[in-house]
Each structure stands twice: as structure tokens, then as C-alpha cells.
Amino acid sequence: MSIATTNDAPLDAPLLEARGVSKYFGAVVALEGVNLEVRAGRITCLLGDNGAGKSTLIKVLSGVHQPDDGTLAVDGTPVRFSAPRDALDAGIATVYQDLSVMPLMSISRNFFLGNEPTVGVGPFRRFDGAKAGAIAREEMRKIGIDVRDTNQLVGTLSGGERQTLAIARAEYFGARVLILDEPTSALGVKECAIVLRHAISARNRGLGVIFITHNVQHALPIGDTFTILARGRAGGTFRRGELDGERLHSLMGGGSELEELQADLEVLARREERGEPVPTVPLEAEVGEVEAREVEAREVEAREVEPPFRTVDDERS
């Protein structure tokens, strides 16, 4: 990791900052001119639809990719991560969507994956299972999960408990910035609540948290700031209370799509009420035809209800 040394970094500098970060894969623009700030004791929600560039930005922040343009800064000092280990050394820990846990290994083994405590010397050095188990049990207890047997396989844990294990591991190894990549995407309602509580708990302990999601309902209750990504470009950063869920959806690029979906569903419901066949293909080519038939039906109904037109001669006769 290379660090541009400076003695005039502001005291209130963000823990982690992306300044005009861009990333290109050939002709594909993954990110362009993106800014992001992460401060201690704050949850920064990074929102965007699938393909918006969220995962690419997280990989840049965690050292997997190097930015093609722009800079990263830690505590106000520009840095360049050449590998994920550099980001970890700087206190930036990422819990990826696939959790980075081994289902067929024990809880204690997963907790110290790559950093195993050992006992003995030389060729007799071996994994210190007792120490690893005690530490893993205590660290998970601190964030609300009571583990009876740390030799239990991780594959037997629920999705929320696996997320808890990954978060506890990151915090134990000195994380100052905790990046949660779509942590609730494959979880049930109760498990989502567990993960959201852990994110709030990490914020209350002074960590800077980046919460990546495309689910506005999960972001709104816990976020302090909201940064929108749409097609690799920043759609703005907003503080809590400045936007509601509908506006966030619109900025993410999902507002018009949801309106179109609602219109399609209404057309399908009306066709089903009339006993007409319901298509399984997109309605784009049929919406105009259906609407025209609906207008014609309303006109016929109106003619049947209105009294017939009578002339003056008809009245005299």
C-alpha cells in the first residue's frame, strides 16, 4: 500500500473517502466520478439497482480493484491499495454477499481463517483450538449470539448467524470501517432484523459502516446518509429525512419501472375479469390494443344508457 504522506490532514476527516473514483473494463464504464464519505459512528447506505456499480465500488474500496481515475483517502490521507490485505491493514473490512465463510469448517476455524492462533514450536506447531474457541465464543456473545459449541459446522448456522460470525470476525481484527455487501439479500424477515441490529450496534461502537443494498425498506430505518448509484454514476448524497422511500426508488432508476409494472398488472386484472386469456409475454405490444378496446366498450355502454335522440317533428307527432 502506498500512502501520500501529509501533515495537514484535517482532524475531522472521514475514516474513508472516495474522490472522483472511476473504473473501466474495456469499453464498459463501471464507475465514473463517484464520491463517497464514511465517518465514524455513521451508517452510509449505498443504494442502487442491480448493475448500478455498487459491487465494483466496494471492490475498489477494499483493494480488489485499483481505480483508473480518482483517489481514495484514509483519515484524509490519499492511499492506493494494491491488494485486499492493504485495505485490511488500514482497518477496512468487507463482509461480501457470499459471506466468505466455509460451511464445512467449524465456527472457530472460520473465525480465524488465515490468522489461526497456534501452540507449540517448529514442526510441532498446531492450531490452538481451545484459544480460538474461547475467543470466537466471547466475540459473538458481545454482539448478541450465544454459541454453545464453537466446533459446530458453519453450514448448520442460519443466514443471520453466518452474517454475525463474519461481522464479529471483522471487528475482532481491528476494523474501523465495516463494509456490508447486500447483507440482507438472501435472508428471511427475522434474520434481516438481526443483521440490521448488528449494523446499528457497530455504528454505536464508533465504527463507520457502509451498508450496500437495493432494498430501500432496509436502508431507511438505519441510514444516516444515503448515496445513490445509477449506471455507474452518483445520483447524489442525502441525509436522513431529506428523502422518502418513493423518492429514493425514483433516484435509483426504479420509479418509472414500478409505475409501468403497476399499469401492466392493472391491465391484466381487467382482462381476467372479462374472462379474456392472460398473456405470459410482455404487454408492450398489447397495451394500446387493450386500451382501445376498453374505450370502445365504454362508448357502447354509454350509448345503451343514453336516451334516443328525438327531433321536434317526433314531439309534434
Q: Is the pLDDT of residue 5 over 50?
A: no
Tens of pLDDT, residue by residue over 244-283, are 777 777 777 655 566 666 677 777 777 777 777 766 555 5
**Average pLDDT for residues 83-107, to the nearest whole number?**
86
Least trusted range by pLDDT, from 54-63, 217-226, 235-244, 255-264: 255-264
Which segments within 117-267 are labelled E, that is strand? 118-119, 126-127, 177-181, 208-213, 225-230, 233-239
Q: 2, 66, 63, 4: which is closest to 30 by C-alpha?
A: 66
Tell me, what's the pLDDT at 309?
46
What are the beta bridge partners of residue 163?
Answer: none
More reliable by pLDDT, 275 or 21: 21
The model scores a pTM over 0.85: no
Residue range 295-317: mean pLDDT, rounded:
54
Task: Please state the rounded mean pLDDT for residues 208-227.
Answer: 89
Q: What is the predicted pLDDT for the residue at 6? A: 44
pLDDT of residue 282: 54
Average pLDDT, the chain: 81
**C-beta of residue 181 within 8 angstroms of C-beta of residue 97:** yes
**Could you report the per-residue pLDDT of 143-168, keeping only the tens digit for each?**
777 888 899 998 888 877 888 888 88
pLDDT for position 248: 76
Contact assessment for residue 95 and residue 167, using Cβ atoms and an 8 Å cutoff: yes
CB atoms within 10 A of CB 59: 19
Q: Looking at residue 285, what is its pLDDT?
A: 46
* pLDDT interval class at 210 (50, 70, 90): very high
Asked if 73 and 13 touch (Cβ cutoff 8 Å), the reply is yes
pLDDT band at 284 (very low <50, low <70, confident <90, very high): low
Buried b (16+ CB within 10 A) or exposed e, 120-137: eeeeeeeebbeebbebbb
Q: Is the pLDDT of residue 209 over 90?
A: yes
